[in-house]
Amino acid sequence: MLPRPPEVRRQWTARFPDMDASAMQIAELVKRIGAQLETAIEPLYDDAPLTAPELDLLIPLRHMEQPVIARRIAEHRHMSRAGVSKALAKLERRGFIERVPSPADRRASLVSITEAGGAAVDALFPRQVGIESRLVAGLGADRERVVEALTLLADAFERAAAELPSSPEHVEPEAPAAEAPAAEAPGTEAPGTEVPGTEVPAGGVG
């Protein structure tokens, strides 16, 4: 039988006395929660038109009245622009989003959700929230304190991650939007270059 997490932490701190066992414990709990959440919602997507990550990309677009700059979606989801570009290309091919070159910078895409994309979100997201609600139902009056603690943890992670050394990310150009000339690759606008488009809201993603 594999050792339980407390025993694993004891073994490692015995080998490396300076190791921060409390950090291990927090990381273990975050992974445990993530794994349980993924397991709980996985059946919802067995025959769904979207994957769970695709739904997460579409949710902030659902009630936007103006197209959103593709780069903003990447920033909002804490994903690489290359990764978001590939996901958007798949969604576009299946008719869930539309992308057009920005009139201010044709290297940048403006993204909007289609009627089919909105219908898919409306069919899946409330059901996913229902599953999430059942998972946290046992918290009772402690729910607000849990939200505060998780917000504190998420903010701490984000601040610390920004200071961690990392190799420069290889940024690939976006796959061309449907109406863009083949020679142009949207989504590689220079940092600091602002183009028309609506900002992605800061919250509201399930």
Mean pLDDT calculated for residue range 162-191 = 53
Mean pLDDT calculated for residue range 49-54 = 96
CATH C-level class of 22-161: mainly alpha
DSSP single-letter state for residue 199:
P
Residue 169 has pLDDT above 50, yes or no: no
Residue 47 has pLDDT above 90, yes or no: yes
Residue 185 has pLDDT above 80, yes or no: no
Which residue bears the tokens 């990381």? Answer: 27
Residue 105 has pLDDT above 90, yes or no: no
Percent of the chain with pLDDT over 70: 80
**Sequence-separated contacts (24+) of 134-137 with Cβ below 8 Å:** 135/36, 135/37, 135/40
Per the prediction, the chain carries an average pLDDT of 83
pLDDT of 78-88, one tens digit each?
A: 888 899 999 99
Measured CA to CA, the distance from residue 87 to residue 109 in angstroms comes to 13
Is residue 182 very low, low, confident or very high in pLDDT (cuts 50, 70, 90)? very low
Burial (CB count within 10 angstroms: exposed 0-12, middle 13-18, buried 19+), residue 186: buried
Which residue bears the tokens 């039988």? Answer: 1
Neighbouring CB atoms inside 10 A of 103's CB total: 10
pLDDT of 124-166, one tens digit each?
A: 999 999 999 999 999 999 999 999 999 999 999 989 988 888 6
Q: Which residue has the higher pLDDT, 147 or 184?
A: 147
Is residue 174 very low, low, confident or very high in pLDDT (cuts 50, 70, 90)? low
> What is the structure's pLDDT at 166?
65
At 88, the amino acid letter reads L
Residue 205 has pLDDT above 50, yes or no: no
Poorest-pLDDT segment among 3-7, 26-30, 167-171: 167-171
Per-residue tokens: 79: 């994903």
The kind and range of the H/E element at 40 are: helix 21-41
Residue 100, classed as helix, strand or coil, is strand
Measured CA to CA, the distance from residue 158 to residue 160 in angstroms comes to 6
Neighbouring CB atoms inside 10 A of 140's CB total: 7
